[in-house]
Amino acid sequence: MSMPSHTSAVERIYVQHHSWLYGWLKGKLHDACDAADVAHDTFVRILGSRDASQIREPKDYLVTVARGLVIDRYRRRAIEVAYLETLAARPEATAISEEDKALIIETLIAVDKALADLGVRARRIFMLSQIEGLTYQQIAEQMQVSLTTVKKHMIRALTECSMIMAAL
């Protein structure tokens, strides 16, 4: 589909369903500003996605996209809160600029997404190594897997994290 046709289809869906989506989100989020932001982001996501003229059930499609954005928003807030709490609990007062805070939070969100995509076993191995400080041998014994399995999952996890860092 040509770009003007795609844009026209998105415009049509926007005109027909934006008010409904905003109202639905306002009821779910209990915040008019958050609802407006998510409604806007939903249409931005649709603009950048597939052929909008192929969307047969616009309300269902809008709800699916909006739910994903709401989940992302809650995940981001949880990561921000955890980071800020950790920062506040540090014994020495460290001055970090707002720009650095934003960069750190973006990095944490990207790493969180990468870890979520790894799978349960690989994520657990990564956390035991990087957070708990266990050796690969200790992880293998604790999880009752081979040392080769631990190494394989760590290579995969570290590769994902390094690709994220390179992209930032």
Q: Among 94, 113, 135, give the residue marking a domain's end.
A: 94
Q: Please list the pLDDT of the chain residue by residue as tens digits (168 residues).
A: 456 688 888 899 999 999 999 999 999 999 999 999 999 999 999 988 877 888 889 999 999 999 999 988 888 888 888 888 887 777 776 677 888 888 888 888 888 888 888 888 988 998 899 888 899 999 999 999 999 999 999 988 888 877 777 776
pLDDT of 93 reads 62
Same structural domain for residues 137 and 75? no
Same structural domain for residues 80 and 101? no
Domain that holds residue 117: 97-168
Q: Among 42, 64, 94, give the residue marking a domain's end.
A: 94
Calpha distance 130→59 (Å, rounded): 43
- Phi-psi sector, 30: left (phi>0), alpha (psi -120 to 50), beta: left
Same structural domain for residues 48 and 85? yes
Structural domains in the chain (count): 2
Q: Is 32 exposed, middle or buried (0-12, 13-18, 19+ CB in 10 A)?
A: exposed
Can you give the pTM of this predicted structure?
0.61
- Phi-psi sector, 13: left (phi>0), alpha (psi -120 to 50), beta: alpha
Same structural domain for residues 90 and 142? no
Same structural domain for residues 46 and 58? yes
CB contact set of 5 (below 8 Å; sequence gap of 6+): 53
